[in-house]
Structure 1
């Protein structure tokens, strides 16, 4: 079994979670933009409506018409305020989604860093084992060679 397999599985899971957080952040951004655009449209409509009726009231201002205008403006103002609250909530959800995305990106980076450290540790361990084997092999050869300082002594033939 590969000693990095559990970490690779953790990395894959972290990346999936990060991708899901990215998707949620995208959706939250789109929802926030749509809510803000709708609020802006309502504000613009209210402004145009006020201008149009302000000109109308200069020429004639029947009381029934004024009451209708005021009632509609009240409801329109409530709609604008409601939509602005919706836009603010969407902005908060967007902030939360971006924070969650940043957290997931940090987690992925941390797991990658951990995997790299483990790979480096495995390389160092493998290098040490290889060096030890090379040293042992070299000392066996030196020991086995006749006439070496380490090798077996041959009787002097003198």
Structure 2
């Protein structure tokens, strides 16, 4: 088993790294989800504001109130555009995290394959050793049987 200790240690470390990367990926996903929810809220607020403004079209509004509304809507659209940028960056970050987890999975898979190969090699060595011992025992038994027969043959004559 000492032959496998180093690969088992490497597998343990690779699993820990993969798990840590998976946690980072999960956090990135939650951040993206939250940013998407915030985008929906901004868009919904802009839509509701426009609907209320249009719904009140029969009300006469001062030039100052109209100018204020347009400035507000312009800032709201700027906020929506900024949020789009945030969404793009968070989506890119999430993809990077997914790639990191995938690479960690590949590494872990490779290490597990090495472990499987080494175990098979050790098992083959053990079987050969056992076969050699069986063969030696059989040869020894055969020699003893031959010696006993010769001894019996010499006593019989």
Same fold per TM (> 0.5)?
yes
Q: Distance in 1 between matches of 2:131 and 2:32?
A: 61
Which residue of the partner structure matches residue 34 of structure 2?
Answer: 34
TM-score by length of 1: 0.89
User: How many correspondences in the alignment?
Assistant: 156
Alpha-carbon displacement from aligned partner over 1:26-61 (angstroms, at most 9, x marks no partner)? 100100000000011000000111111123343213
Q: How big is each residue's C-alpha offset from its partner over 1:5-26, in whole Å with a ceiling of 9 and x where there is no partner?
A: 0001100100000100110011
**Structure 2 length-normalised TM:** 0.89
Q: CA deviation at 1:62?
A: 1.7
- Name the CA distance, whole Å, in 1 between partners of 2:156 and 2:52: 128
Unaligned runs of 5+ in 2: none
1:88 and 2:88 are equivalent in the alignment? yes
Which structure is higher in RCO with an 8 Å CA cutoff and minimum separation 6? 2
**Aligned match of 1:143:** 143
Moved beyond 3 Å, runs of 4+: 154-158
Q: CA RMSD in A?
A: 2.1
Give the drift of 1:91: 1.5
Q: Determine helix, strand or coil for the equivalent of 2:58.
A: helix
Q: Does residue 58 of structure 2 align to residue 58 of structure 1?
A: yes
